[in-house]
Amino acid sequence: MSEQTLEKNKETRGFQSEVKQLLHLMIHSLYSNKEIFLRELISNASDAADKLRFRALSAPELYENDGELAVRLSFDEKAGTVTISDNGIGMTRDEVIEHLGTIAKSGTKDFFAKLSEEQTKDSQLIGQFGVGFYSSFIVADAVTVNTRAAGAAVDQAVCWHSTGEGDYTVENIEKATRGTEIILHLREDEKEFLSEYRLRDIISKYSDHIGIPVLMETAERDEEGQETGKKWEQVNKAQALWTRSKSEISDEEYQEFYKHVSHDYAEPLSWSHNRVEGQQDYTSLLYIPSKAPFDLYNRDSKHGLKLYVQRVFIMDDAEQFMPMYLRFMRGLIDSNDLPLNVSREILQDNKVTQALRKACTKRALSMLEKLAKKEDDYLRFWTEFGQVLKEGAAEDFANREKIAGLLRFSTTHNDTAEQTVSLADYVSRMKEGQDKIYYITADSFNAAKNSPHLEQFRRKGLEVVLMHDRIDEWLMGYLPEFDGKQFQSITKAGLDLSSFEGEEEKEAQKQTEEAFSSVVERTKAYLGERVQDVRTTFKLQDTPAVVVTDENEMGTQMAKLLAAAGHEAPEVKYIFELNPNHPVVNRMADEADEEAFGRWVEMLLGQAMLAERGSMEDPSQFLSAVNKLLAQ
């Protein structure tokens, strides 16, 4: 925190730099749909009630003789304020500073640094941080928060106040009731929210599903329409959405509930509401988001489902019910079989948990299979979450075949970087006599698409899967086959396509290989231990030479992956393959001078290494050979 000035118990604190940036975005760029602020604040109030209900299971005195949990909403036209209050868990002074002055999520600084001007208009940003409170500053030029933690003394309440600039004040006050009261001092051009009709409309649109009553202070009128007083009127259904029958719930309600549980602004791609009775007794409501959170690839970030036991909220981010590779799934599970005092530690080894995890995983994969039938929607999903789903092939052996069916790739059939081809599509197009799924891994789509290893496959009309995500080489270590067809890397030395060649072609190749054997031996003698072997190849057409690895040798991409992760990768020994039908190789073969012959070998090996690795161990040796050949 920056400068602090103390006056009795009042202090002024500077916002964390990320909060300053967020507030700037809020006020100047985000939320074209300004009414969202009310949804966010009511959602937070509902969460506070859930937390109190859970804590009160073991400490009922926290209710302080007030067990009727509710959210209250009122407005004052003269003062220009809207007030949202709850009688939930409340906050201590330290919690106020922690929750309202900082953003605790790791990586936020880097995330803000990468934001472009265009991206600042992306209103899903707010949900990614779970900081909907700051949306108050879209409509308010000042915000006051009065709060007292449940169980704290009346004089231990706290008042937080800010105008959304660089700092805020916090001081101790007296507050008779527990919970939190937020007073929004509306901007001059936001007075539309000082209307009973407008506020009522927003609540029924966004907060009907909240599980506790949302009460609004409304005017009582006599027969002539004159105001005679005020009364509190419930304006939402106040029944937990997942406890209602599916036939009663509209798509709009499901979508709004998703935004409540996920703090996401974008619509979900799909959802599944499921009630199970029998061996297990539970309800699940699962969602597939349409946008990835900024910390999706941080495996340590919080994820998981909201857990309820017998409709009592227990915890957020219960990761025990979803495997890591499905960490993008959102929603909740409400179990009647778990104890109310369940903890994360008990969940870890609980048989009920294991059964629920298995059921939720199966349900999530079924949702994805159903979504995959809608190509456009599935492409949106795959673009956002595809690389995370690939982790499942290694982590979930029981569902590996099902996960493999959900994977999408580029291939030489579609020849675009867009990953739209399923393995089932590939298998359906396999040529007669083809028993393997051919693939190549590379640093980028263009590197894969233009690899010289593809030449013979294009010539023979064989489709090749072009893998260009960083995770792909690792993935293929855990995915040996699909639909009974083995995968075959086309950069391995053991590749055999003789079944697609005629007898005359085979005989011609055999004769060429025998005639070329002396050139192979000369090359082998020159290179010595620098390569594992030198061989003749007939798979090339426009390329004079390539390097490949032995079937059991670590591949180039895996070695790069280990090096990038800071691990010491074993040296990859390549097999150097020469194309005897290429004019450059023939020029080399005709060279009688051994020194000049060595320059040709250096040039061809250097080219092959560049094509395979994108680099070489000794570029100077390669450049020297090329320069001397050019001078010749």
Per the annotation, binding residues for ATP are 40, 44, 86, 91, 105-107, 128-133, 180, 344
* Pairwise CA distance, residues 146 & 624, whole Å: 76
Enter the tokens of residue 565: 């992760």
* Pairwise CA distance, residues 521 & 392, whole Å: 46
* Pairwise CA distance, residues 558 & 209, whole Å: 49
Cα distance between the two ends of the chain: 69
* Pairwise CA distance, residues 547 & 525, whole Å: 17
Q: Which residues are annotated as a binding site?
A: 40, 44, 86, 91, 105-107, 128-133, 180, 344
* Pairwise CA distance, residues 59 & 53, whole Å: 10
Enter the tokens of residue 554: 């670590």
Place of tokens 């604040």: 41
* Pairwise CA distance, residues 153 & 545, whole Å: 81
For Cα atoms 115, 123, 383, give the angle at the middle one, nearest 5 degrees.
70
Cβ atoms within 10 A of the Cβ of 355, count? Answer: 15
* Pairwise CA distance, residues 417 & 444, whole Å: 9
Complete DSSP assignment for 202-269: HHHHHSTT-SS-EEEEEEEE-TTS-EEEEEEEE-S--S-GGGS-GGG--HHHHHHHHHHHH---SPPS
Closest CA to 423 of 362, 467, 391: 467
R_g of the chain computed on alpha carbons: 33
Helix axes 517-527, 503-515, angle to 10 degrees: 50
Give 11's strand partners: 6, 170
If DSSP codes are grouped into helix, strand and coil, which group holds residue 331?
strand
Place of tokens 């690899």: 451
Complete DSSP assignment for 7-25: ETTEEEEEPPHHHHHHHHH
